[in-house]
Structure formats: structure tokens, C-alpha cells
């Protein structure tokens, strides 16, 4: 039987402690990215797949590194950064979706060229990768407290941080569209309810 993105995701997250930790995050990022993609007329199923599977490359990472409370060493940082490339390979080879794989690969590139894995800059980064980047960051700041943060930000604090990093880490135009969308759809912290409607 051919694997679907959802079946692959469910199969892997069922047996993988690391990805189980990110399952709700991945679903929220998929919802947010879908909302943003539809708003700018740039939505298709491959965007949805890439948003859902953006962290699938973390499946082989050590929990001790991924959830380390202290600052990462340069080697540990490089290991974590490898997940974009690994995710690209999984989506490309297992699902035969090279376009979605590109979006997975691009989701940690920065507008100013300081991101990874390829150091792409500006519009050289796929717009889909830029959208996932914003939605992933917003969800991480407001829901998924990890080693680099000690508290969950409010939506307003997260908006301020996205704007502060616009045109450096993020596509500033997409940031403003995203913020307007989240404000328009309310600021309740229950995206799971929104996803069912």
C-alpha cells in the first residue's frame, strides 16, 4: 500500500518519542500555514504536506540534545540543523514529493541569508518555506516552550518578536499578513478547536 503523508506521519509518530513530542505542534503549524497560504492564494496540498512534515527529520535526533535545557554546543547545533535536510530526503524518497520536500528543506532559511541548510536569501527561498518558517516560529513561541525559552509568549509578544525579526529572519510582508489573519480569527489559544471547524 502506498504511503500517504498522514499515514507516514502517524506511523512514525506512534513509534518515535521525539516526533510524538512534536505531533500537536506539527498539526498546528499545518493549520496556520494552510490559513496563510489560502489568504495569499498560494495554497495546495503539497504546502499542507510540507507544513505537517516540516519536523519529520528530527525523528533520528537524540532527545538529550533536542530537549537540552542548556545552550547547545556548536556540534549539537549542527546536528539539530541537519533535520531540514533529513526531512527533505524523507519526503522526497518516501512520498515521491520533491516539491513538498523543497519546502521542508527551506523552512529554516532566513531572509538575510543567515539560515540553514543552504543559506538562501530573500526570494530565493520558496514562499512556502517562508510561510512555514513564520508559522513554526509563532507556534514555538506561544505553545512549544523548548530549550531556548523559559515561558510561553502571548500572541501580542509573539507578534512583536516576528516584527522585530522581519526582513532579517522573515519575509516582512508575510509577517504582516500572518499577524492580521491571527488577529482576525481571534486570539484564543485553542487552534485544535479552530482546526475542526
User: Which residue numbers are catalytic?
Assistant: 58
- CA gap 161, 12 in Å, rounded: 33
- CA gap 25, 49 in Å, rounded: 14
Amino acid at each position: 500500500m502506498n504511503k500517504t503523508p498522514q499515514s507516514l506521519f502517524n506511523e512514525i509518530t506512534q513509534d518515535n518519542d521525539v516526533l510524538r513530542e512534536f505531533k500537536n505542534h506539527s498539526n498546528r503549524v499545518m493549520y496556520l500555514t494552510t490559513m496563510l497560504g489560502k489568504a495569499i492564494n498560494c495554497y495546495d496540498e503539497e504546502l499542507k504536506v510540507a507544513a505537517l512534515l516540516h519536523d519529520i527529520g528530527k525523528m533520528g535526533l537524540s532527545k538529550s540534545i533536542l530537549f537540552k535545557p542548556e545552550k547547545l554546543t556548536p556540534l549539537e547545533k549542527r546536528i539539530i540543523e541537519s533535520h531540514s535536510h533529513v526531512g527533505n530526503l524523507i519526503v522526497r524518497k518516501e512520498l515521491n514529493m520533491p516539491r513538498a520536500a523543497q519546502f521542508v528543506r527551506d523552512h529554516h532559511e532566513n531572509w538575510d541569508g543567515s539560515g540553514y541548510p543552504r543559506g538562501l536569501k530573500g526570494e530565493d527561498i520558496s514562499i512556502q518555506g517562508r510561510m512555514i518558517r513564520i508559522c513554526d516560529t509563532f507556534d514555538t513561541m506561544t505553545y512549544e516552550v523548548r530549550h531556548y525559552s523559559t515561558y510561553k509568549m502571548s500572541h501580542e509578544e509573539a507578534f512583536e518578536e516576528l516584527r522585530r525579526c522581519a526582513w532579517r529572519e522573515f519575509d516582512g510582508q508575510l509577517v504582516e499578513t500572518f499577524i492580521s489573519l491571527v488577529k482576525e480569527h481571534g486570539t484564543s489559544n485553542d487552534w485544535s478547536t479552530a482546526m475542526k471547524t
